[in-house]
Chain A
Amino acid sequence: MAILVVAAHDNKAIRANVANAVAAATKLGSDVHVLVAGKDCGEAAKAAAALQGVTKVLQAEDAAYAAWLAEDVAPLVVKLAPNYSHIVMAADSVGKNLAPRVSALLDVAQVSEAIQIVSADTFVRPIYAGNAMATVQTADKVKVVTIRPTNFKAVGGGGSAPIEQIGGEGSKGLSSYVGAELSKSERPELTSAKIVVSGGRGMGSGDNFKILEALADKLGAGLGASRAAVDAGYVPNDYQVGQTGKVVAPDLYIAVGISGAIQHLAGMKDSKTIVAINKDEEAPIFQVADYGIVGDLFQIVPELTAAVDKK
């Protein structure tokens, strides 16, 4: 049976992590379909059709899908489900919102945030903020799985799968989209950036994040933060890296003024190289850092910014 990847998108473009979800799907079977449900979502459907390994794109046009409300998209996925062995989504804020609703309507369990596919019915997933790894097996007929994007290497483009138009299911009238307050940034998106610079409570204020912005801009890096910095109001919620925020695994992660609470480590310890800058030499962040530097971040960060080459 085929695998269905449900793509998160903004009608124009699909999210980068759809390519990671397709990569996971190709490990489960060779017939991978992608559902693009939206309004005027032809461009997004084309982008999905170009992903390597995709055999067919299902484009569902319906005004009800314009803002991707789970109450309205879930019935469509449920209707398609009998044709599939697996339904796969990236474990981002879209997948986390939708997949459990689909699972419950199908009366099946969901495997959340799989980091490894052992076999078609067996997955490894982190529990306790990544302090333990559980291998779980599901016997359900349709297996609903969200995957952690950073653990599956994205497939490339260049493909040309056929796009099939399917109808929508209309609106349930339970919810409506009012608007969004999205952070505007020219910097790379956190979860796909090659380098991430993050600040913690040690930054002292939101204003002080300027020195991190300067470093991030020089390195072409994404900008993140610890929960403590977000809770203190230094930066918006979408900066948060950790167990309950975003999970990142860049080539280089620079943790500045971050002590290294378990829940923060859960979001970044798969980074290839970790640098920690902290005035407290006992800070737990140094236990996971490849390179640590103990000292005043307000001196070290500008010095580092001056010392690295512009990307």
Chain B
Amino acid sequence: MKVLVAVKRVIDYNVKIRVKADNTGVETANVKMSMNPFDEIAVEEAIRMKEKGAATEIIAFSAGPAQCQETIRTALAMGADRGVLVQTDAELQPLAVAKLLKAVVDKEQPGLVIVGKQAIDDDSNQTGQMLAALLGWSQGTFANKLNIADGSIEVKREVDGGLENVKLKMPAVITTDLRLNEPRYASLPNIMKAKKKPIETLAPDALGVDVAPRLKVLKVEEPPKRKAGIKVKTVAELVDKLKNEAGVI
């Protein structure tokens, strides 16, 4: 079974982002970029499936500018077999990415697609569900544990009240939550080997997908700042403040 994983290039999670002065977006020039952390979990899960013999080949997909090659290389260094980059400088929104993914899935025919549940830049939490809809496949979102057995996959999902178990007919789309696994670091020999693994580059037009954004971003602003308050010395002082100043207890 082929497994396709999608990896997004985002501003590194350790970077404190800055809103552009003209309020058109967030500053990305000269900022450290990394693979979306939820997508690392997706790559790791696919590799574990291959190590257990459940998967035969792992394809790492990304969409965006040429630099997304680096993100795909990271996935290849972790253990993915080859990459597919849909290269475009256009702004890509979740519905467009889902359509690009569908076009590649139609070509590659994987038995499973694993993606992060959300990207830490736009926080949309949409692409996996949208891809499942476009393909007419089942969806296992916010996965905490996966178990493949006899043409179906059991997914333990992280939901509001705790955990929920569903059984999905395959092929399926899985979106990863934090507790699915702990992604490995790529070893130096594997980073070197990854340089030789193939990455196919495609254009959205060649896949017949219109990627024009549907949502128009009118402005991006700083959130209202919360002011730091005071430090109190004793519990008695704290209780007094909460009762008489804040009035919350």
Contact = CB atoms under 8 A, between A and B. Distances in A.
A291 B232 CA distance: 7
A180 B159 CA distance: 9
Given A109-B95, A132-B221, A175-B167, A303 B120 contact: no
B238 interface: yes
Interface in A120-166: 122, 126-140
B160 interface: yes
Interface stretch (A39-47, A95-103, A199-207): A95-103
B222 interface: yes
B220 interface: yes
Contacts of B178: 227, 230-231, 237, 244
A288 interface: yes
Query: Which residue among A140, A180, A269, A289 has the maximum number of chain B CB atoms within 10 Å of its CB?
Result: A180
B34 interface: no
A211 interface: no
A238 B162 contact: yes
Given A111-B215, A290-B246, A101 B123 contact: no
B214 A100 contact: no
Interface string B209-249: 00001111111111100101111111110110110001011
B203 interface: no
Given A136-B215, A273-B248, A177 B223 contact: no
Dominant SS at the A interface? Answer: mixed
Contact of A307 (B139, B166, B239): B239
Contacts of A309: 249
Contacts of B160: 92-94, 191, 238, 246
A21 B115 CA distance: 28
A286 interface: yes
Given A112-B124, A292-B232, A183 B221 contact: no
B33 interface: no
A126 B223 contact: yes
A108 interface: yes
A246 to B, nearest CB: 7
Given A92-B160, A244-B178, A293 B218 contact: no
A132 B222 contact: yes
A195 interface: yes
Interface in B109-139: 117-118, 120-134, 136-139
Contact of A175 (B128, B138, B232): B138
Nearest to A146: B125
Contacts of A139: 214, 216
B215 A137 contact: yes
Given A104-B95, A112-B123, A272-B248, A175 B168 contact: yes
A189 B162 CA distance: 12
A237 B130 contact: no
A286 B231 CA distance: 8
A111 B221 CA distance: 17
B103 to A, nearest CB: 14
A113 B123 CA distance: 9
Nearest to B11: A128
Closest 10 CB pairs of A and B: A109-B214, A100-B129, A290-B229, A104-B130, A104-B133, A178-B165, A100-B126, A174-B138, A252-B248, A182-B162
Interface of A: 69-71, 74, 92-94, 96-105, 107-113, 122, 126-140, 173-183, 191, 195, 219, 227, 230-231, 236-238, 243-244, 246, 251-252, 262-263, 269, 272-275, 281, 286-294, 300, 303-304, 307-309, 311
5 contacts: A93-B159, A101-B139, A140-B214, A174-B138, A179-B164
Given A134-B217, A180-B161, 5 more contacts: A70-B129, A97-B141, A126-B123, A127-B121, A177-B164
